[in-house]
Structure 1
């Protein structure tokens, strides 16, 4: 959910009470949403933790540096930007802030027990699925890949596992259109977060335990496997169609998966399951129509 800000976030002067909150996110857009929602609800953000990827990859490091630069420009006056080098470093970084609550949206780390206890009340996390479904780093991607007609938002207490804590607030019914427009989907998700978060913070402040998740219905969606960037025409048409749709989120930093068309490598950008203008291909269970594609040079498999 990466995004850039056109300018800095204006400092609020209306917050006179409420909780002292630390915000944690990997993206500028996530930080902005948390900040504006918390301030409007009467809480005071005191620091921002950039939960950058800890994977040592050149492209990942470059994107992280660009994101940090954007966040630095967006920071309100007086707010600190913290860049812990490890998940365990969060506790040390936050020790002096006397925070009441940590609010997280998009964090690739498992926070340690010490980190979770840094704030007086603990930490809550915004997760873009109807937990316990799609625990893990990219729940919306998995919902699209599996052809789900809708998704939702859950806000839960954080524990030492990924996305397994008790749920404080939850909302479903966010439609995933077949002709997916990512900006529209994220806008509706953001609206649900802004609606749910103030109430979830109030529940956290009141000491609410939340509702335990049903472990019988839990699943975990990790990062997509490397072979997912290549189309296998032996698979079903719906599966391939959903594969193309997933790449509209910039998966692997690509606009679409690679596929061989008449012996040439192409990047598939849009497909249809009903007859349409474009190239008809035969899948494992029937035809699919490629309505938008571009030449490509794929990486070595």
Structure 2
């Protein structure tokens, strides 16, 4: 399939899923997005999972401003992969924040925020995402009501604030000199889907594997020594050597 027909297929599929009367915009740049939105003269724009940093010319188009739905408890875990980083850091829970957008990433004033999405040790990625989506829909209704009244929101605090970027291949290989909890959380993070392998890569019993499940308490599986004690590899699958996989990616 050529590039033009592939793009056409994507657009056709997207259009088929849109409610009647809703337009689909496909801008190539933020400048194009500003021009496209200005023609609609919107009162409010809501972003959810949008990958671009919006400049002033886009933020100034809607009369009231732009809201962002962010799946973390801001100011913690600003950036494009907040749920992954919450698991990576061992947070016991996460949540959703809806805030006014400014020209920085996820730093705007907060309209509504709620936690309570548990991140248990043996978490299921699909279940966590489903809870986040349900909570986002619930909070958006409240946020839209506040935005319509011109509510300015509350300034974010500084505790726990920080930006975290995309996880790259450097996060896909286990370093046994790290703490066992850190490695265990890395294994848990892959339950949300990362890269082309189902788990972080490591040498276990002399062969390269993708680690699917680990535990910090004694039990079945290969015992591996970490910086501060043992970690048990409960489930894994063989993969090509690390260098082969990384070069292929």
The TM-score normalised by the length of structure 1 is 0.75
**Match among 227, 235, 240 for residue 183 of structure 2:** 240
- Indicate conservation of the 8 Å contact 1:88/1:111, yes or no: no
Distance 1:248 1:67, change over 3 A: farther
2:100 paired residue number: 157
Q: What aligned pairs does 1:89-104 form with structure 2 within 5 A after superposition?
A: 89-104=32-47
Q: Does 2:192 correspond to 1:249?
A: yes
State whether structure 2 residue 215 is matched by structure 1 residue 272: yes
1:299 partnered with 2:242: no
Q: When the two structures are aligned, how many residues end up with a matched partner?
A: 239
Whole-Å separation in 2 of the counterparts to 1:175 and 1:207? 32
Q: Which residue of 1 aligns with 2:27?
A: 84
Whole-angstrom CA distance in 2 between matches of 1:253 and 1:70: 25
Structure 2 residue 157 is the aligned partner of structure 1 residue 214:
yes
State whether structure 2 residue 134 is matched by structure 1 residue 191: yes
How does 1:8-19 map onto structure 2 within 5 Å? none
Describe the superposition over 1:196-250 as per-residue Cα deviations: whole angstroms up to 9, x where unpaired.
1111011111001000112354211111243110011111111111001111111
For 2:153 and 2:25, how far apart are their aligned partners in 1?
29
Q: Distance between the aligned counterparts of 1:68 and 1:183, measured in 2? A: 26
Cα distance change on mapping 1:253 and 1:71 into 2, 3 Å: farther
Deviations 1:27-85 (A, max 9, x none): xxxxxxxxxxxxxxxxxxxxxxxxxxxxxxxxxxxxx9987564333112232211111
Structure 2 stretches lacking a partner, 5+ long: 1-6
Local SS of the residue matching 2:195? helix
Unmatched segments (≥5 aa) in structure 1: 1-63
State the 1:268 CA deviation. 0.7
Please, what TM-score do these two structures have when normalized by structure 2? Answer: 0.89
Distance 1:158 1:252 in 2: 29
Alignment CA distance shift 1:235-1:104 (3 Å):
same
1:276 Cα deviation after fit: 2.4
Write the distance in 2 (CA, Å) between the matches of 1:88 and 1:237: 47
Q: Does 1:170 align with 2:113?
A: yes
**Structure 1 residues 101 and 254: alpha-carbon distance in aligned structure 2, compared to 1, 3 A threshold:** farther
Range with bigger deviation, 271-280 or 148-157 = 271-280
Q: Superposed, which structure 2 residues align to 1:12-161 within 5 Å?
A: 70-161=13-104
2:3 paired residue number: none
SS class of match (2:30): coil
Q: Runs of 4 or more off by more than 4 Å in structure 1?
A: 64-70
Say what the alpha-carbon RMSD is for the aligned residues. Answer: 2.1
**Preserved contact between residue 126 and residue 192 of structure 2 (Cα < 8 Å):** no
In 2: Cα distance, 1:249 partner to 1:69 partner: 28
